[in-house]
Amino acid sequence: MRLDENTLKTIKKLAEQYFGKYCEVRIFGSRVDDTQKGGDIDIYIKTDLNVDILERKASFLAELKMTIGDQKIDLLVERNDNPEKSPIYETARTTGIKI
């Protein structure tokens, strides 16, 4: 995976802060492929929370960028009680690396 340990810890810590202690966090996309260069950070979060998801996403992204620097980050958030049927969510669930 092409993310350093500090970045991964920061992502996990902030995900738990904004989406609950027991949220599932996965990194997927080009950053999990060591043969590629560059690319955005693709993050998938699955949460039990079902209120203020948009606000939580915005706050999470703002704090993450302030902490690790301004980078292109794509964030998918899925609620446990309402699974997404979009192919990108399926890709994140099946190919993402849990952190």
Domains of the chain, CATH where assigned: 5-98 (3.30.70.1770)
| pLDDT digits 0-9 by tens, 28-69 | 998 887 777 778 999 999 999 999 999 999 999 999 999 999
- Separation of alpha carbons 2 and 78, rounded Å: 24
Average of per-residue pLDDT values in the chain: 94
Which pLDDT score, from 0 to 100, does residue 90 have?
A: 96
> What's the distance, Cα to Cα, between the start and end of the chain in Å?
11
Give the CB-side neighbour count of residue 29, counting CA atoms within 13 A.
Answer: 19
Which pLDDT score, from 0 to 100, does residue 97 have?
A: 96
Instruction: Enter the tokens of residue 73.
Output: 């980050």
What is the pTM (predicted TM-score) of this model? 0.92
The answer to whether 21 and 82 are in contact (CB under 8 A) is: no
For residue 84, CA distances in Å to 21, 22, 71 come to 21, 19, 26
